[in-house]
Amino acid sequence: MLTTRFVDGAPDWIEVGTPDVEGATSFYGPLFGWTYRSAGPEGGGYGFFERDGQIVAASTRVTPEQGPPAWTVYFQTSDADATAEVARAAGGGVTSPPEQVRSQGRSAILTDTAGVPFGVWEPEGRTGLDRAGDVGSLCWAELHTPDVARTAAFFRRVLGWETTGVTFPGGVYTSLNPAGTGEDGAFGGLVPLADDPDDARAGARPHWLPYFGVDDPDAVVAEAAALGGGVRMPATSIAGVGRLARLEDPYGAVFAVLRGDPEEQ
């Protein structure tokens, strides 16, 4: 389960790269009950999304040269520099080398063997998000990848992840957890890119798909469409999982929403 009791290898931060921070705020604000707070003039366009005064996500302005709008998930590490070196040695890459973020910690953007960006955060003054695992906050994270076995081996080496095969009506799902935490520490999963109908239909490249908790996925889908977003997969119930939907914001950043319910039919 994704919580704010962060350990090495667990998701601890998430940010959306967008060409229009004001527009993104106008979308995500009413959708999730978020308010926006700028990091200030020295923040370079960086800012925080808050719910009830607690940080649940962040945003940063991106240009077309920097890449398409997307959500980036960060994971805790006790040594960002060492993690970046291991990622490079394991066949990944270093997009943004580790750097100090004021007195808050050290941050880096890396890529896995399929070229998918992810962040690492070495906490100092700030451990991570103030809120996770409930309504209006990050509750799950999936990596849609062309090679599950290779990706699992990469992250096992880089972040110490453990995997578990979970059987469900549609097949076997590869669940992820930080080392030594077992099923109680599960925070996400690996999805074969070729097996996902939405990815195939959209011609998607490998990517992270963050899930945000909601009370009413159907209402959120309708609201997202009214706010100018896209519906990639309508609200759908999956037994033993819950009711979920896949959406994109007006600039193309893809995300999902979930009402977890093991009894959902």
* pLDDT tens digits, one per residue of 149-160: 999 999 999 999
Residues 146 and 256 in one domain: yes
Residue 256 contacts by C-beta under 8 Å, 6 or more apart in sequence? Answer: 140, 142, 209, 210, 211, 212, 233, 244, 245, 246, 247
pTM of the complete model? 0.96
d(CA 199, CA 209): 11
Among 123, 146, 179, the domain boundary falls at 123
Tokens 């590869």 -> residue: 174
Which CATH number characterizes residue 170's domain?
3.10.180.10
Residues 161 and 231 in one domain: yes
* Least confident segment among 76-85, 188-197, 256-265: 256-265
pLDDT for the residue numbered 265: 40
Per-residue b or e along 203-222, where b marks 16 or more CB atoms closer than 10 Å to that residue's CB: eeebbbbbbbbbeebeebbe
Which contiguous run of DSSP H or E holds residue 6?
none
Confidence of residue 201 (pLDDT cuts 50, 70, 90): confident
Domain that holds residue 186: 138-260
* pLDDT tens digits, one per residue of 102-144: 999 999 999 999 999 999 999 999 999 999 999 999 999 999 9
For residue 33, is it within any domain? yes
* pLDDT tens digits, one per residue of 221-246: 999 999 999 999 999 998 888 999 99
